[in-house]
């Protein structure tokens, strides 16, 4: 005689076990390892690079901005500010170019917020959030591509600066350190603009808010002129302005001078900004519609 065995059907299984199984399965799907996360970042980075390839005009700001800004400030303000530095426009080149490295990082970072906002308005982000991927990989890929754009802009800036008489009075390694410092601080600013892009309803609103942040920080700093010529209250602002610290650190690394305090403050600002805004941006990305 044969015996028959019966297994409970899904409908007769205890509901508590099925619920636990669903939770365990969902938890397993939500756990994404480092290797998979890196693959996702690489895939989205390629996607963003392909977008630039299809729209090469999006690189015009990176190519033209360092040329226009360098020529404008050197030939318009170089004479008067150069004299206040004890020289002429040639000495102003060595002053302003390291400062422009800080400004370029901030201007390029602003483009991240506009790009994220555009992706949400076109529905791309909604599609990404339905995929079994780490949510942060979408945003980190944006930062990776913008860092590449930033390095291109800084390279062009230095090329124009060398053509106008910029001198490296330290070493090539120190010059590379100043570029790395600018990239580190610029990447931290990108998280702020990503958060703005996720919060504001339109690209115009993102750009308007970004300009309200950019203008006081840029012109209330030591990027274009020594703070000693400013009123006392503005000098106090420049002392705490992270762009002043970055500009001073870059000058010290390129032209010689004290570096430790300015570089340490820059890295501290970059770390604090990233630790605060990156989790907020990822959380906002999960909830945004």
Specify if 20 maps to a domain.
no
pLDDT at 84: 66
Specify if 13 maps to a domain.
no
Please state the domain count of the chain: 1
Specify if 164 maps to a domain.
yes
Integer Cα distance of 236 and 256 in angstroms: 24
Specify if 6 maps to a domain.
no
Specify if 3 maps to a domain.
no
Spell out the per-residue pLDDT of the chain, length 289, in tens.
444 444 444 444 444 433 433 333 343 345 667 777 788 888 888 988 888 888 888 788 889 999 999 998 888 877 777 666 666 667 789 999 999 998 888 888 888 888 888 877 777 776 776 776 777 788 888 899 999 999 999 999 999 999 998 999 999 999 999 999 999 999 999 999 999 888 888 888 888 888 888 888 888 898 988 888 788 888 889 988 999 999 999 999 999 888 999 999 999 999 999 999 999 988 888 776 5
Specify if 156 maps to a domain.
yes
Residues near 54 by beta carbon (within 8 Å), at least 6 away in sequence: none
Nearest CA among 65, 146, 135, 137 for reference residue 112: 146
The parent domain of residue 44 ranges over 33-287
pLDDT at 113: 84
What is this structure's pTM? 0.81
Specify if 23 maps to a domain.
no
């Amino acid at each position: 005689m044969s015996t028959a065995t019966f297994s409970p059907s899904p409908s007769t299984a205890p509901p508590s076990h099925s619920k636990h199984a669903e939770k365990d399965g969902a938890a397993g799907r939500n756990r994404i390892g480092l290797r998979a996360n890196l693959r996702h970042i690489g895939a989205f980075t390629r996607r963003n690079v392909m977008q630039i390839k299809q729209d090469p005009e999006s690189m015009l700001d990176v190519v033209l901005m360092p040329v226009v800004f360098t020529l404008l400030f050197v030939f318009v303000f170089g004479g008067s500010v150069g004299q206040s530095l004890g020289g002429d426009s040639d000495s102003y080149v060595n002053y302003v170019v390291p400062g422009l490295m800080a400004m370029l990082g901030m201007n390029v970072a602003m483009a991240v917020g506009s790009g994220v906002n555009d992706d949400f308005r076109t529905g791309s982000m909604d599609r990404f959030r339905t995929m079994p991927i780490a949510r942060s990989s979408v945003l980190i890929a944006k930062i990776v591509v913008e860092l590449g754009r930033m390095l291109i802009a800084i390279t062009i800036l230095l090329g124009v600066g060398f053509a106008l008489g910029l001198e490296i009075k330290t070493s090539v390694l120190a010059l590379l350190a100043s570029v790395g410092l600018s990239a580190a601080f610029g990447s931290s600013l990108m998280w702020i603009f990503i958060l703005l892009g996720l919060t504001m309803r339109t690209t115009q609103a993102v750009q308007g808010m970004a300009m309200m942040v950019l203008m006081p920080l840029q012109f209330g700093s030591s990027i274009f002129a020594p703070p000693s010529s400013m009123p006392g209250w503005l000098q106090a602002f420049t002392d705490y302005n992270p762009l002043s610290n970055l500009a001073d650190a870059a000058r010290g690394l390129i032209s010689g001078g004290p570096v430790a305090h300015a570089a340490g403050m820059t890295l501290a600002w970059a770390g604090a900004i990233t630790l605060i805004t990156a989790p907020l941006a990822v959380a906002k990305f999960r909830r945004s519609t």
